[in-house]
Amino acid sequence: MGKLDGRVVLITGAARGQGEQEARLFAAEGARVVLADVLDAQGEAVAKEIGAAARYVHLDVSQEEQWVAAVAAARQAYGKVDGLVNNAGILRFNELTATPLAEFQQIVQVNQVGAFLGIKTAAPEIAAAGGGTIVNTASYTGVTGMAYVGAYTATKHAIVGLTRVAALELAAKRIRVNAVCPGAIDTAMSNPAQLDPTADADEAAAALDELYRKLVPLGRVGRPEEVARLALFLTSEEDSAYITGQPFVVDGGWLAGVSVL
């Protein structure tokens, strides 16, 4: 028996990183998964590897009509949708006063509007299926500040707010809505060397290890599989049946407090 037997879950940003690991884990736990992304070749390849329990759909989460088409495609493939993981996101580094308006708006459009559109489009489908779950991907920057990622931090705080309101409004429809707040996770987002074929992967990994050994109490960067485990917990009807409207930090203790040593 898998934890998600019989479930159908749409996961955005699933071509790589945390979304990919969520798709793999959820399928291993019995769900049928619809992987959505803008990286079509990568997303198709992951879905193919997972097998018959997976489909890939192109979905730019910032575009409402693409959400409508993706949710319809998921229903057509598997008969219903009763789970959503809003995982897609982008990060840009900039000092607030140097951030071009267009850059700020782009980050809002993908991270914040994308999550809003996901809730708006998927919730009626999930309600029609008799209820289910939505897991939004915020960040530790959804619950604290971080210099030089102001636009990103603003959107992640907004996602925590959206999560609370959606939980209040959708509880009567038997839809639970929670958020994961990852700390530093070893994906292309925090380790861009993963995308650079000329980079020395071992050197980049060692530099990352060194940085997080000092910053994070558990002494290492997180793995995308560890965030996927939390998303699984929040999607499982058994494990998290009485939990809704909450942000959950998964950060190796980074936010626990300051250390003088």
Ligand X SMILES: NC(=O)c1ccc[n+]([C@@H]2O[C@H](COP(=O)([O-])OP(=O)(O)OC[C@H]3O[C@@H](n4cnc5c(N)ncnc54)[C@H](O)[C@@H]3O)[C@@H](O)[C@H]2O)c1
Helix (H, G, I), strand (E, B) or coil at 18: helix
| CB nearer to ligand X: pick between 141 and 240 | 141
Other CB atoms within a 10 A radius of the CB of residue 21 amount to 25
The single residue listed with the structure tokens 């459009």 is 109
Instruction: Check if 212 is active-site.
Output: no
* Distance (Å, whole) CA 254 – CA 220: 10
Residues between 38 and 97 with contacts to ligand X, criterion CB under 6 A = 38-39, 59-62, 87-91
Residue from 46, 84, 175, 184 that binds ligand X (CB under 6 A)? 184
Asked if 157 touches ligand X (CB under 6 A), the answer is no
* Distance (Å, whole) CA 204 – CA 201: 5
Q: For 222, which DSSP code?
A: B
CA 112 vs. chain centroid, Å, equals: 12
Smallest separation (angstroms) from ligand X to the CB of 23: 11
Count of residues near ligand X by CB under 6 A: 30
Residue from 4, 10, 15, 228 that binds ligand X (CB under 6 A)? 15
Catalytic entry in 78, 152, 212, 242 = 152
Between the CA of residue 47 and those of 14, 158, 169, 191, 223, what are the distances in Å? 9, 30, 33, 24, 21
| CB nearer to ligand X: pick between 4 and 189 | 189
| 50: its two tokens | 């997972």
Residue from 190, 235, 236, 240 that binds ligand X (CB under 6 A)? 190
Residue from 22, 29, 37, 125 that binds ligand X (CB under 6 A)? 37
Residue from 10, 13, 123, 151 that binds ligand X (CB under 6 A)? 13
Residue type, 51: G
Smallest separation (angstroms) from ligand X to the CB of 191: 8
Residue from 96, 146, 188, 201 that binds ligand X (CB under 6 A)? 188
Q: Which stretch binds ligand X (CB under 6 A): 121-129, 168-176, 185-193, 206-214?
A: 185-193
Smallest separation (angstroms) from ligand X to the CB of 246: 16
Side by side, the strands of the sheet bearing 247-250 are 54-58, 32-37, 8-12, 83-86, 132-137, 175-182, 247-250
Q: For 94, which DSSP code?
A: B
Asked if 178 touches ligand X (CB under 6 A), the answer is no
Helix (H, G, I), strand (E, B) or coil at 119: helix
* Distance (Å, whole) CA 109 – CA 254: 28
Would you say 84 and 33 are in contact if contact means Cβ atoms under 8 Å apart?
A: no
Asked if 136 touches ligand X (CB under 6 A), the answer is no
Catalytic machinery residues: 152
Residues lying near ligand X in the complex (CB under 6 A) are found at 12-13, 15-19, 37-39, 59-62, 87-91, 110, 137, 139, 182, 184-185, 187-190, 224
